[in-house]
Amino acid sequence: MQLREEISLKPFNTFGIDVRARFFAEALTEEDIIKLAGNLREDYLPLLILGGGSNILFTKDFPGTVMKISMKGIHVIKEDEDTVWVKAGAGENWDDLVKFCVDNGWGGLENLSAIPGNAGTSPVQNIGAYGVEMKDTFFELETFDLESKGKKIFSKEECGFGYRESIFKLKYKGRFIILNVTFRLLKKPVLHLDYGNIREELTLMTADHPGIADVREAICRIRSRKLPDPAVIGNAGSFFKNPVILPQQFENLKQSFPGIVSFPQDEKIKLAAAWMIEQCGWKGKRIGNAGVHSTQPLVLVNHGNATGPEIMQLSSAIRDSVQEKFGVVLETEVNLI
């Protein structure tokens, strides 16, 4: 593994922000990680662990070392009559993993189709879509501890999963490098079709008796229509989280905004941030090279040579207008560096 200097990070983040890393290394094996992490001099710090770069916004050059995690591999580690446990290297492309499982008839990940990023970053954010979260099929993950310089396995309970949260995003941010993730999948899949427009899309596909391959295709079709391709226009997917509020606050909002879009979230209410952003007039709006996507206002886009601060300035204006109109504070889902 080569440690390179003054490397542009534009090819390594889906927003396409052109900043530089003082040092850059790509880890293809666990041994690469252990070797580099064990020999980081003071002048190589800080250390940034980078996956697929699909949920990150660089606001400036990075003054230390960026380590890109690229370990591949998908393996069945055990199975029984009903269940299969699948382990994926942290650098495995997330959608390639979903496709692999669907092609083998193993259910649980199909609703998470077409989400950009890598397997190793999926637990950090507890990614979710169409009524399913990563934690629903998660079994365990293996990490390298930058403090003890040893490996540690985390169970589902130890990861502290919440809505787009985990201990790796909060309590242990920057301490553990995820090496691989194991999922527990079903050989007799249970379909989740009641979120969004999945059933309508399946009807258009004339899938009268759908299986997980049909669900995957339906979701891929929906996402391709609604969301921009980072290969065509820079973006990091949903920039904001959907806010979760108490029922009483929701009832008050509903009196003023009868059309407000919401979903149940345990004993609380999850609001559709995209709907609120659109109501504030931001859908399709552009300020310089930074803009709001024309069909999905939850996604901010780079129209060309936008900088991180320009994207941040736009996001702050959106957050202020939503708070002023609805009294709700939007939280950023994208990691800011």
Looking at residue 306, its pLDDT comes to 93
Predicted local distance difference test score (pLDDT) of residue 1? 67
> Which CATH topology does 4-69 take?
3.30.43
The question of whether 31 is a catalytic residue gets the answer no
Of the residues 30, 278, 310, 333, only one is catalytic, namely 333
Q: Residue 41 has what pLDDT? A: 72
Residue 116 is predicted with a pLDDT of: 87
Q: How far apart are CA 100 and CA 209, in angstroms?
A: 21
Give me the pLDDT at residue 174, please: 84
89-117 as b/e: b if 16+ CB within 10 A: bbbbbbbebbbbbbeeebbbbbbbbbbbb
Q: What is the crossing angle of helices 212-226 and 94-103, to 10°?
A: 150
Domain ranges of the chain: 4-69, 74-186, 234-336
Topology, domain 74-186: 3.30.465
Out of 54, 238, 315, 319, the active site residue is 238
Distance CA(74)–CA(178), nearest Å, equals 15
- Cβ neighbours around 328 below 10 Å, total: 17
- Asked whether the CA dihedral 70, 73, 74, 78 is positive or negative, the reply is negative
Task: Give domain 234-336's CATH architecture.
Answer: Alpha-Beta Complex (3.90)
Which residue's structure tokens are 């979701």?
219
Q: Among all chains, which residue has been given the structure tokens 């980078």?
A: 50
| Known catalytic membership, residue 164 | yes
What are the φ/ψ torsions at residue 149 (nearest 5 degrees)? 65, 30
Q: Are strands 244-245 and 234-238 parallel, antiparallel or unpaired?
A: unpaired
pLDDT in tens, the chain (337 residues): 688 999 999 999 999 999 999 999 999 998 898 888 777 777 788 889 998 888 899 999 999 999 999 999 999 999 999 999 999 999 999 999 999 999 999 999 999 999 988 999 999 989 998 889 999 999 999 999 988 888 999 999 999 998 888 999 888 988 899 999 999 999 999 999 888 789 999 999 998 899 999 999 999 999 888 888 888 899 988 899 999 999 999 999 999 999 999 888 888 999 999 999 999 999 999 999 999 999 899 999 999 889 999 999 999 999 999 999 999 999 998 889 9
Which one from 164, 216, 223, 319 is the annotated catalytic residue? 164
Has 319 been annotated as catalytic?
no
The answer to whether the beta carbons of residues 325 and 253 sit under 8 Å apart is: no
